[in-house]
Structure 1
Amino acid sequence: MLSFGRNCCFKYPGTYFRRGNASNHTNTILSTNSFCPKFPDPNYPFGKNPRSTHFFHHAHKLDLFLFQINTSYTQFPIPFAPFNSHYSTKAPSRSYQRRARKRLLKSSKPTLDQAQFQLALSQLPPRFTPEELCNVIARQNDPLVCLELFHWASQQPRFRHDVSTFHITIKKLGAAKMYQEMDDIVNQLLAVPLIGSEALFNMVIYYFTQARKLTRAVNVFKHMKSRRNLNCFFRPSIRTYNILFAAFLGRGSNSYINHVYMETIRCLFRQMVKDGIKPDIFSLNSMIKGYVLSLHVNDALRIFHQMGVIYDCPPNALTYDCLIHGLCAQGRTNNAKELYSEMKTKGFVPSSKSYNSLVNSLALGGEIEEAVNYLWEMTDKQRSADFITYKTVLDEICRRGTVQEGTRFLQELQEKDLVDGHAYRKLLYVLEDDYGNSVSRIDSVGL
């Protein structure tokens, strides 16, 4: 991008663009004849008056094409833009959408109900206690009134907020998603030494994770750990770690992002064990799920084998579901079937996700008959298969067998009422698109 000074000119073939100063503003408006391509005036016959050329022969249309160069310091990515490009046809960027959304939320921000606020003040005695203020705030439905009551009480002489007033105010603001106002109250809380509780800080961490402010949540967690006084009862607990585990597991949408967050989850898990906090089933399942999402299935299996031996916490159905899905995603169908058999012996029923993963993996591996058997077992267990599973099995049957077998499978799905009319037509279109006239003999029932 080029930057030009105040007194400069742009040179084009046969034309100069000069920038005037602020006092000579009229010189900054240039005629179109000075820089636009010149075309013959159609009012004159060919060959006559060749020097009289204009951009347009209608003089009143010249105002639409005047080009003005601003007298301020400006950067020009190109000398000038097309004259008819008044508006951009590109989609707005994400940053612009965020700024527009923030401006819209700020403009539509509700105002304080003064009547409700005065009514709440009338319910407080002259020398009110933190408990009385907490009860009044708890009865309010308007979070702005709660916030104003908190600030008003802070200005009263001989009154100090305690855990209860901070707790109820932050809860009201967090439930209303007024995260910026809640952040201000949290800063006041962290500035007061020896005030807090485990439930209060856990709630603060939870609402910060809901607001996608993971850095603030981790800072509050570090604040809980920094207290060396044994009399403080707000050290991190297993619930604190579980809130952070759930927050980090829900942030990523691909394996790379999950891999980055998995490093943080692993550090938190080690810190939890080092502090003498025994992991529960939620913490262990979070570790297994994180390893599966980051494509570290062997590490997930290591945690699985340590659950009953080291942590004295046997796996549940969710544990098996995560592992079966992760193994099938990597094509390790035999290991997935072993876990499936172990899961059934313990009385657990796989979820729809596990069944779908297992059926797809078997079908893609060439084990069509076994995949179909798992599919029928899946329907018997009241687990629903998705369209991708039906399509995968149907494609593999037609590709490895015959088209007639695929049509019979599709008709069987319809007879068992496993697919509705819309899904049946989509599967039928798949057969017609892939195999052409080979399915012309299929019964048109349901069309």
Structure 2
Amino acid sequence: MKAIGHKTCSLCSSSRLFSSSVQWISPLHYQSRNSPRPDAPIERDGTSEQVPRKHKYISHESAVNLIKQEKDARRALEIFNKVSDQKGFNHNNSTYAVLLHRLAVCKKFETVDAIIHQMKYETCKFHEGIFTNLMKHYSKSSLHEKVLEMFDAILPIVREKPSLNAISTCLNLLVEAKQIELAKEFLLNVQKHLDLKPNTCIFNILVKYHCRKGDVEAAFVVVEEMRKSRVSHPNLITYSTLMDGLCRCGRLQDALDLFEKMLAKDQIPPDALTYNILINAFYRAGKVDRARNIIGFMRKNGCQPNIVNYTALMNGFCKEGRVGDAKEVFHEMKGVGLKPDVVGYTTLINSFCRAGKVDEGIELLEEMKDKGCKADDVTIKIILGGLCRASRLSEAFDMLERLPYDGVHLSKESYRIVLNFLCKEGELEKAMDLLGLMLARRFVPHFATSNELIVQLCEAGKAADAALALFGLLEMSFKPEPRTWSMLIDVICRERKLLPAFQLLDELVLQ
């Protein structure tokens, strides 16, 4: 079948084929009629002609600064290679370190491997800091085997045994990522080949390792070894880790006993983080009023509660639906001079929205703006969900339309929340408007929602709108379910609009 017209039929061209009840705006030309447009970019003064300058020698320091300033990994590598062409120039630890950092930030890990291979043939002195930095980047990218590779590269390239700092960094990254088997394998290899003599830091990581496994008794064995050692002794981190492990196993009383032991036996004063472990444990156990008492206990013992402590307590009240108490804690926090952060605001906003008090949540959102605390996507999604549950869908739509002009970044999930509710409530005209806004901003609805919207439009007899929506989605590489295709073509044929049906069939063949 020969295609009629251009292959990628836009929403605008489709609108000429149908008489739609909705005035559709092409996603490629979508403009808000009510929202202000962003200011035009300011053009810098300059001339089209550049005065040629005499090339001068680039030092190691200058090369490092140039690579640091370059955000593009390819350009950073070009600078690295260009300066090496200078007569008498040899790269050193600093230039290699800054290049590898830039490549790792940009996730150009294949190039990182090639650079590390080249470093084996260099004669300059390297430091292990290059490799501990790369370990962190690989861990963030969940490439845990590569974390071990970076550790193993220290000895042949730095030409020295890895320090205790490198060992603890590698071990801690594996434990934090819950890569327990890799951590175990790493420990065995280190003990076998490097004659490991743990310091306090490594002992603490081992305590955390066992607590993450849920084996608190093994963690206590490590602490006993720690006491016998001549180079380490349990400190606040040790106790805090053990207390957290006990609380997570539901052994709250044992954690409190350990807290008393820390004060009485080792005379270690707790900090705000240690207290926070108990606050979280109490509210998880349904004893949020006892968690509140900890705030007063902290003050009496010379430890001022911080934002994290207050937020944890607010979260406890919110979990129990005690919005009034959560609000009271929020005002108490501000009363002692603490400035709420985005987590604190979002915790209370969520509590308001869940309790059906969306307006109070919106007031807090405005307060955040006035106080210079920028709302994140989590905050916005909570507000949108609250508006939708309150059937205030027009307000949710207006918020989606306006916020990007206020400098708020919206994720696709924010749009999807509102579109799902619009489809659920049968608000098809508003759903079509939101689809246009999403496509204009290069967001594609969820696969199931897209199909559901087209099906609902067909069932409502809005074949023209359904076709418009489908063509717009096709331009974003959306592939509908066969049932959706079939239903739309069936509706169009029943309306005796054969030309559009042929176009849809052509699109089906080309998908």
Q: What TM-score bracket applies, with the shorter chain setting the length?
A: 0.5 to 0.7
Q: Is 1:383 paired with 2:410?
A: yes
The answer as to whether partners of 2:388 and 2:396 remain within 8 angstroms in 1 is: yes
CA distance in 1, matches of 2:243, 2:188: 22
- Name the residue aligned to 2:332: 306
CA distance in 2, matches of 1:166, 1:270: 32
- Name the residue aligned to 1:181: 218
Larger of the two Rg values belongs to structure: 1
Q: How big is the shift at 1:334?
A: 1.4
CA distance in 2, matches of 1:367, 1:333: 10
The answer as to whether partners of 1:360 and 1:393 remain within 8 angstroms in 2 is: no
Correspondence 1:47-446 to 2 at 5 A? 143=187, 168-175=202-209, 179=215, 180-186=217-223, 196-206=234-244, 208=246, 216-227=254-265, 233-245=267-279, 258=284, 260-309=286-335, 311-380=336-405, 381-386=408-413, 387-396=416-425, 398-399=426-427, 403-420=428-445, 423=446, 426-430=449-453, 432-433=455-456, 436-442=459-465, 443=468, 444-445=470-471, 446=473
CA distance in 1, matches of 2:168, 2:399: 53
> What amino acid sits opposite 1:320 in the alignment?
Y
Q: TM-score, normalised by structure 1?
A: 0.53
CA distance in 1, matches of 2:169, 2:409: 45
Q: How big is the shift at 1:350?
A: 1.4
CA distance in 1, matches of 2:296, 2:189: 43
User: How much identity, in percent, do the aligned residues show?
Assistant: 19
The answer as to whether partners of 1:224 and 1:234 remain within 8 angstroms in 2 is: yes
- Name the residue aligned to 1:51: none
Q: How big is the shift at 1:303?
A: 1.0
Q: How big is the shift at 1:278?
A: 0.9
Gaps of 5+ in 1: 1-133, 154-163, 250-257
Q: How big is the shift at 1:405?
A: 3.5
Q: How big is the shift at 1:428?
A: 3.9
The answer as to whether partners of 2:353 and 2:382 remain within 8 angstroms in 1 is: yes
**1:109-143: per-residue Cα shift (whole Å, max 9, x none)?**
xxxxxxxxxxxxxxxxxxxxxxxxx99x9799754
Q: 1:146 to 1:183 in 2, by over 3 A?
A: farther
Bigger strand fraction: 1
The answer as to whether partners of 1:147 and 1:169 remain within 8 angstroms in 2 is: no
> What amino acid sits opposite 2:394 in the alignment?
E
Q: 1:379 to 1:217 in 2, by over 3 A?
A: farther
Q: 1:247 to 1:404 in 2, by over 3 A?
A: same
CA distance in 1, matches of 2:459, 2:168: 68
The answer as to whether partners of 1:196 and 1:234 remain within 8 angstroms in 2 is: no
Q: How big is the shift at 1:238?
A: 1.7
Q: 1:145 to 1:429 in 2, by over 3 A?
A: closer
CA distance in 2, matches of 1:292, 1:385: 27
Q: 1:147 to 1:224 in 2, by over 3 A?
A: farther
What is the DSSP-based 3-state SS (H/G/I as helix, E as strand, rest coil) of the residue aligned with 2:344? helix
> What amino acid sits opposite 1:383 in the alignment?
L
Gaps of 5+ in 2: 1-163, 172-185, 475-511
Q: Which has the higher contact order (CA 8 A, sep 6+)?
A: 2
Q: 1:376 to 1:261 in 2, by over 3 A?
A: farther
Q: How big is the shift at 1:170?
A: 4.3
> What amino acid sits opposite 2:235 in the alignment?
S
